[in-house]
């Protein structure tokens, strides 16, 4: 379970990073507003991804042991 949540956290973080990054940098679009991210707060998603990815370490260490309960 611990490994699953840690991996999940890592994966979610990385996915968010990829999504956030690509959405922040809409290369290939030629619209007037091509300086804008594809959606507002995309950079926040990227940062969130970074944070979540690193949070996997927290999850890994802090997740309570089931058997103790």
Partner 1 sequence: MATQTERHSTLPQRVGQMNGAWRLFVIGALAVLGFGIYSFWQEATQGMVVTGMRDVGTMGGATWGLYITMVVYFIGVSFAGITVAALIRIFNLDHLKPIARTAELLTVVSLILGGLAIIVDLGNPMRGVVNLFKYARPQSPFFGTFSLVVAGYLFSSLVYLYLGGRRDAARLAKSPSRLQWFHRLWAAGYADTPEERDRHDRASFWLAIAIVPLLVVAHSTLGFVFGLQVGRPGWYGTLQAPAFVALAGVSGIGHILILAAIVRKVTATPHRIGEAIFAWLGKFLLGMLLVYLYFMVVELLTLVYATPETEKRLSDALLTGEFAWIYWGSVAALVISAVVLIWQAVVRRWSVTWLVAVGVLANLAAIGKRYLIVVPSQTHGTLLPYDTGSYSPSVVEFGVIAGLFALGALLIGLFFKAFPALPIEDESEEVIANA
Partner 2 sequence: MKYGMVVDLDRCQGCRACMEACKVENNTAQGHFWMYVFRYEEGSFPETQINFLPRPCQHCDNAPCVKVCPVGARFSREDGVVLTDADRCIGCRYCELACPYGVNYFNWRKPEKGQYEIVDWSDPDLEPVTGGAIPPYRNPDLDGLHGEEQRRTGGGSQAKGVMEKCTFCVQRIEKGLQPACVTTCPTDALVFGDKTDASTPVGRYLAEKRTWRLLEEAGTEPSVFYVGSRPPTHRSKEIERPKASV
Binding interface with partner 1 (CB under 8 A): 21, 24-25, 27, 35-37, 40-41, 43-44, 46-47, 50-51, 54-55, 57-58, 60-62, 64-65
Q: Is 36 in the site for partner 2 (CB under 8 A)?
A: yes
**Minimal CA–CA distance to 40: which of 20, 68, 11, 66?**
20
Q: Is 20 in the site for partner 2 (CB under 8 A)?
A: no
**Minimal CA–CA distance to 51: which of 19, 21, 18, 9?**
9
How many Cα neighbours within 13 Å face the side chain of 11?
A: 6
Q: Is 1 in the site for partner 2 (CB under 8 A)?
A: no
Q: Is 34 in the site for partner 2 (CB under 8 A)?
A: yes
């Amino acid at each position: 379970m611990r490994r699953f949540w840690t991996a999940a956290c890592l994966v979610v973080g990385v996915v968010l990073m990829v999504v956030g990054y690509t959405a922040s940098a809409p290369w290939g679009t030629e619209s007037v507003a091509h300086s804008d991210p594809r959606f507002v707060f995309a950079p926040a998603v990227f940062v969130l991804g970074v944070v979540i990815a690193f949070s996997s370490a927290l999850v890994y260490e802090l997740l309570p042991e089931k058997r103790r309960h």
